[in-house]
Structure 1
Amino acid sequence: MNLLKALFGGAEESPEEKRKNDDAKRFDMFKFDGVKAARMGNFDYAVRCYEEALKIKDDLEVRDYLSQAFVSSDKLPEAICQLKILAAAEPENINVWIQIARVAYMAEDYDAMNDACAAAMELDSKNPHVHYLYAQAYIAAGNNINAVAMLTKAIALKPDMADACLLRGKTLLAMGDVGGASDDADLLIKEYPESEDVLMFNARVASAQGKSDEAIQLYGRVTEVNPFCADAYRERGRLKYGKGDMAGASEDMQKVMEITPGAVADISGEFSAEGVEHKVRKAYSNMNPLGL
Structure 2
Amino acid sequence: MYPITYITDCFDGNARARLSTRIGALFGQSPTIVAADGPDPESFAALTLLDCLIATESLGPDGVAGHPTITLLNIAPRDGVWPNGVPFCFFRYGQHLVATTFNARVLSLVRRELGIDRVHVTDIREAVTAAGFGADEIEKIAGTQFRSLWYLPLLAKWVADGRTVPATETAVPDVLDADPVVTVVDNFGNCKLDRRLDLALGSSLSVAQRNDDGSTSLVDVRVYPHLTAVPRNAPGIVPGSSGTGFTELVIRGGSAAEVFGLRPGDTLLEPVAANVA
Instruction: Please give the range of the TM-score, normalised by the shorter of the 2 chains.
Output: under 0.3
Higher strand share: 2
Higher helix share: 1
Where relative contact order (Cα < 8 A, 6+ residues apart) is larger, the structure is 2
Question: Normalization by structure 1: what TM-score?
Answer: 0.24
Question: Normalization by structure 2: what TM-score?
Answer: 0.25
